[in-house]
Chains A and B, each alone.
Chain A
Amino acid sequence: AQKITQTQPGMFVQEKEAVTLDCTYDTSDPSYGLFWYKQPSSGEMIFLIYQGSYDQQNATEGRYSLNFQKARKSANLVISASQLGDSAMYFCAMRDQAGNQFYFGTGTSLTVIP
């Protein structure tokens, strides 16, 4: 069963606008972690933001925020004030309770239009 689902293969956003990248997950673990990573064309994986399943508040890191809706099992990434440098692949990932395995989604390619 697919653990992480990203339904948007590609997204476009105007520079300075906000964009939401969708992510839903599936787990029966009571404790888990959710992550977003950015992968620019150069290939490296850059950590953006983390949300623990027991965290009461949505995580924020600068222009990145995670819209965590536990009942819906969704963990959408919101990027505010998009910049040209935000153009990249974005992967949603989940860590299981034991922390020994991470599951990645298929990614969303974001293009920021000047």
Chain B
Amino acid sequence: EPEVTQTPSHQVTQMGQEVILRCVPISNHLYFYWYRQILGQKVEFLVSFYNNEISEKSEIFDDQFSVERPDGSNFTLKIRSTKLEDSAMYFCASRQPGQGAGEQYFGPGTRLTVT
């Protein structure tokens, strides 16, 4: 069964450094998402992406963040100048086209630790 993959599974970085989190969505999906979950808290929407542009972004997704689909398979989240409070689990998700489409498929997540 096709699945969303994410790399790395765990990333440790120093405050102020840039990180790139990578995701490979399911191949026939056209909508892509990034979420974050601070330890013990709820899942928070960051951004959605369709047709090579951002469809929607939350107030969390400020100028520190950017997303890119550099090729036909990868979908990346870049965090510039990381802060301690960026430490969280970051989930990528994708879904099929069509408003009636049901679930998003989540990747296993990347745990980001900023020290």
Contact = CB atoms under 8 A, between A and B. Distances in A.
Contact of A100 (B41, B55, B111): B55
Contacts of A102: 33, 35, 45, 104
A94 to B, nearest CB: 11
A25 interface: no
Contacts, number: 62
Contacts of B99: 31, 97-99
Contacts of B55: 98, 100
Contacts of B43: 45, 91, 93, 104
Given A101-B56, A103-B45, A50 B103 contact: yes
A31 B45 CA distance: 19
Interface in A60-114: 91, 93, 95, 97-107
* B contact face: mostly helix, strand, loop, or mixed: strand
A50 to B, nearest CB: 4
Nearest to B97: A99
Contact of A99 (B89, B101, B105): B101
Contacts of A100: 31, 48, 50, 55-56
Interface string B18-54: 0000000000000101010000011111001010000
Interface residues of A, number: 25
A33 B42 contact: no
Interface string A18-36: 0000000000000101010
Contacts of A46: 106
Contacts of B33: 102
Nearest to B109: A43
Interface string B78-115: 00000000000101010100011111111011010000
Interface of A: 31, 33, 35, 37, 43-47, 50, 52, 91, 93, 95, 97-107
A-B pairs, top 10 by smallest CB distance, nearest first, are A100-B56, A45-B106, A50-B102, A100-B55, A104-B43, A47-B103, A100-B48, A106-B42, A101-B56, A44-B108
30 contacts: A31-B99, A35-B104, A43-B108, A44-B108, A45-B43, A45-B91, A45-B106, A47-B103, A47-B104, A47-B105, A47-B106, A52-B102, A91-B42, A93-B43, A95-B104, A98-B56, A98-B99, A99-B31, A99-B101, A100-B50, A100-B55, A100-B56, A101-B56, A103-B45, A104-B35, A104-B42, A104-B45, A105-B42, A106-B41, A107-B42
